[in-house]
Amino acid sequence: MKELQTNNSDHSHRQIGLLAGAGRFPIVFAEQARQQGYSVCCLGIFGMASEELTEVCDIFHWIPLARIGRAIKLFQREDVNRIVMAGKIEKTVLFSPFRILKLLPDLRTLHMWYRYAKKDRKDDTLLLAVIKEFERDNIFFDSALDFCPELLVKHGFLTKRRPSHSQWEDIKMGWDIAKQMGQLDIGQSIVINDKAVIAVEAIEGTDRAIQRAGQLCKRGGFTVVKVAKPQQDRRFDVPTVGIKTLQTMHEAGGRVLAIESNQTIMIDQKEVADLADKLGIAIVSLNEEELTLQLAS
């Protein structure tokens, strides 16, 4: 596996750094940024980021998860001072046995952990701590959505199938609870069936919460609600759904996916909608006002 790959030797145009986790979002971002005339310098989290990034970025380095000091030095070496964060960061490794030996954090990571993340280990706390550590070296984070706002889902029905009246009631219940969860920085997704909470997303992520719902609700037919946090910082952790979300729902027995309009990223929107129609899953993108009107109609 190559440590460094350069696809474009011309660095005279604008540069943007990319700190990439898992999934297709980093790939889509890199493609969009390059189309807009940016040179993309990417640090891919080892064991999480896709190898496809080595082909779509101008400069690419693999970086271990707990090496913030090395990441800062690499961006400085490439003269990059504006970066974005995209893709899922698997945080369960932070709670594995012998995590220090597995992660081997450098001094800057330890400084970040004990200086900025001392109060708690919530998602927002950890990610804001990372941002603060980079800012000590005048490297600042922007939102990836500044470069590809078209990934945000507009409001409306994305599929031919629409939720039934009882499923709308589940959406409303799930929406209210998910917003409270977001306020507490627990998670963004909740699974509801017949006005009962089946599963709540925490550190494991949406897909594994859906899988757990399938184990607990054998009859299927449940609804997945995914919303932005009330205090959502678009520099990180924006709600994201895609093909994998639908595949997981289908395998577990989910029938409705409700997401927050203009606040949720959907990768490959047409392909997702086509697959949902094929699988008989309803997808609706809405805001709280639209949800209230729908229930009143």
pLDDT, tens digit (0-9, with 9 covering 90-100), for 10-46: 434 589 999 999 999 999 999 999 999 999 999 999 9
Does 3.40.140.80 match the CATH number of domain 152-296? yes
Cβ neighbours of residue 102 under 8 Å, at least 6 residues apart? 93, 96
pLDDT value for 179: 95
Burial profile 242-279: b = 16 or more Cβ within 10 angstroms, e = fewer: beebbebbbebbbbbbbbbeebbbbbebeebbebbeeb
More confident residue, 6 or 28: 28
Query: Rounded to whole angstroms, how far apart are CA atoms 296 and 243?
Result: 32
Q: What is the distance, to the nearest Å, from the Cα of residue 276 to the centroid of all Cα atoms in its chain?
A: 20
Domain positions in the chain are: 15-146, 152-296
Digit-coded pLDDT (tens) for 194-233: 999 999 999 899 999 999 999 999 999 999 999 999 989 9
Catalogue the E-assigned strands of 174-236.
189-193, 196-200, 222-226
Q: Please provide the CATH number assigned to the domain covering 15-146.
A: 3.40.50.20
pLDDT at 73 over 60: yes
AA identity, residue 44: G
Structural tokens at position 264? 């949720």
User: Beta strands 140-142 and 156-157: pairing type?
Assistant: unpaired
Q: Are β-strands 189-193 and 222-226 bridged in parallel, bridged antiparallel, or unpaired? A: antiparallel
Give the 3-state secondary structure of residue 17. strand
**Closest to 265 in 3D by CA, of 290, 232, 297, 293:** 232
Supply the pTM of this predicted model: 0.88
Stated length of the chain:
297
Q: Which helix (H) or strand (E) holds 115?
A: helix 107-115
Considering the chain, what is the average pLDDT of its residues?
91
